[in-house]
Structure 1
Amino acid sequence: MTALQPTLDGAVPEPARPRASDYQTWVEKVRPVFEEIARTGRRFTSYEIANERKLEDPPLPKTHWGTFIHRLAEDGLIEHVAFDETERPGGNHSVVKVWRGTRAARRGRAA
C-alpha cells in the first residue's frame, strides 16, 4: 500500500484511482456502465460516473476520458445538455460538459 502525504491543513487526500494499462480493454470495461446510465436519461459528467462506480482511469486520463465520452456521443448514445463546474479534486471549478442518454438510448435503440 502506498502512503499518502497529508496536505498542509492536515487532510489526507483520496488515494489515486487505479489506472488501466490498455485503452481498448479499459473501454470494454467502462462502456457498459455508461450505456446503462444513458438508458436512464440521467444527467451526468464523466467524473461523477467514474467516481460513483469506482471505475479505473484509462492509461492517459487527461486525453482518453474525453476521447471516450465524445465517441459515445458520436455513436448516438449520449448528448451534451449543459455545462457545470467539475467536482474532480484539483479541478479548481473548471467547466465540464454535462451529458444524458439520447432518446434512442433511453428507448434501447442506440449503438
Structure 2
Amino acid sequence: MELLRFITPFGVGHFNNKENIQKLKPSYIPRWEDDITWEEDISHLLPVLSDEVWVGLYIDTWSNEGWSVDVGFKFDEYYTKTKKPLKTIFPLLNTTPMFPGKVVTINLLASP
C-alpha cells in the first residue's frame, strides 16, 4: 500500500552550492532552500498501520550523494474508534514489486 507520493524539488541542500547553479534557478524562485519538510495527514490509514508494519522508501536520484530521511507518524485516535466494513484491495499497478501478487484485506476508512 502506498502511503503517499510526491516529487521532490530540485535545488535543495548541497545542490544550491554547485557552480553555475544560479543559471539553473527559475526566475520566479527567489532563492534555493537549504532544507525542505513535508507533512501529510494519513490518519485514515491507521487501521492498516496497526501492530508492526514494514515501511519502505524509494527515492529515484540521478546522483550519488544520497538522501537523509526522517519519517515520523502521528495519528488521530478518532479513527481507531470508528468501525468501518472490511474491504479487499487489489493492486492495479505495482512499479516496485516488494510484495508481488499479495492481496490485502484491511479495515480501511472510505474517506479521511
Task: State the TM bucket, normalised to the shorter chain.
Answer: under 0.3
Give the greater-gyration-radius structure (CA): 2
* Structure 1 or 2: more strand by fraction: 1
Q: Could you state the TM-score of these two structures normalised by the residue count of structure 1?
A: 0.24
The structure in which a higher percent of residues are helix is 1
TM-score, structure 2 length as denominator?
0.24
